[in-house]
Amino acid sequence: MQHIPGINAEIVKQFAPNAGRRPLLPQLSEAAQVALMCRMLFREGWNEHIAGHITYRLPDGTMLTNPWELAWDEVTAGDILTLDASGAIIAGEWNTTPALGLHLHLHRLRPEVNVVIHNHAQYSGIWANLHRVPPVYDQAGAYVDGPLPLYNEYEGTFEDADTSLAAAKALGDAKWALLANHGALVVGRDLRQAHLRAITLEWRSMRAYQVEQLGGGVPLTEEQVAAIALPDANGFPFLWEAMARRELREDPGILD
């Protein structure tokens, strides 16, 4: 059975017993997976210049993160930094953003959260600026269910330790949040789960914006969303790989 990051062999057998004629992806280091995540989410609209940060906590307690200086569409595996639990750089040639405190708080407060993603994404950012939660209008916007909190006590950027801690506590046990006049935040157990949540949030936000531009529509109910939602613990089988292959076709150097 071929290796698929974040998904086990039993899940593969359940959804697709035919192994296919080639591996879905080559073997990838953890750093390569984080670099691919940056590229994949950039394409999905998480692309505000050099803003945004992803942290991925490994089993040994260290964390991987993208560098402050680079936009998400240029990050490669060799650029990914390794941090200790306090956020200090222990390997890598770049710097971390001062706003990483939000991630550190979330990792400490929620042991089940190994991935934290923040950026000023395009459509979810619009709803954050409106101080409104986008309704769910279609299946792709319902792949992830559950509350979408709006943290509306904007007190500045997340370089401030107290602001970061308050935002982390306000998230509670939610999967994601909108940060008023700021951007979006997504957490997950692993990269696959966090990827599904991030792209679902942005798709949901885009569709809601488009529908309202045309005069409004009929949103799905919470019960309908819950019935449609995918088994989020496993993400969307094979979607992560398909999106990763797209980036590798365009730039095989991501793995360098």
The pLDDT profile of the chain, 256 residues, written as one tens digit per residue, is: 334 455 555 555 555 666 677 788 999 999 999 999 999 999 999 999 999 999 999 999 999 999 999 999 999 999 999 999 999 999 999 999 988 988 999 999 999 999 999 999 999 999 999 999 999 999 999 999 999 999 876 554 455 556 667 777 778 889 999 999 999 999 999 999 999 999 999 999 999 999 999 999 999 999 999 999 997 666 788 899 999 999 999 999 999 9
In 58-182 the beta strands, taken as DSSP E runs, fall at 63-65, 81-83, 89-91, 115-119, 150-151, 176-179
Residue spans per domain, the chain: 9-255
Give the DSSP letter of residue 20: -
Give the Cα separation of 184 and 61 in Å (integer): 25
Task: Note whether 100 and 88 are within 8 A (CB).
Answer: no
Check if CATH label 3.40.225.10 holds for domain 9-255: yes
DSSP codes joined into one string, 109-120:
H-TT--EEEEE-
Task: Note whether 82 and 64 are within 8 A (CB).
Answer: yes
In 4-83 the beta strands, taken as DSSP E runs, fall at 53-57, 63-65, 81-83
Query: Which residues contact residue 59 at a Cβ distance below 8 angstroms, ignoring those fewer than 6 apart?
Result: none
Query: Which residues contact residue 14 at a Cβ distance below 8 angstroms, ignoring those fewer than 6 apart?
Result: none
Which pTM value belongs to this model? 0.90
- Of the candidates 62, 159, 165, which has an alpha carbon nearest to the alpha carbon of residue 109? 165
pLDDT given at position 159 = 55
pLDDT given at position 9 = 52
Q: How far is CA 128 from the centre of its chain?
A: 16
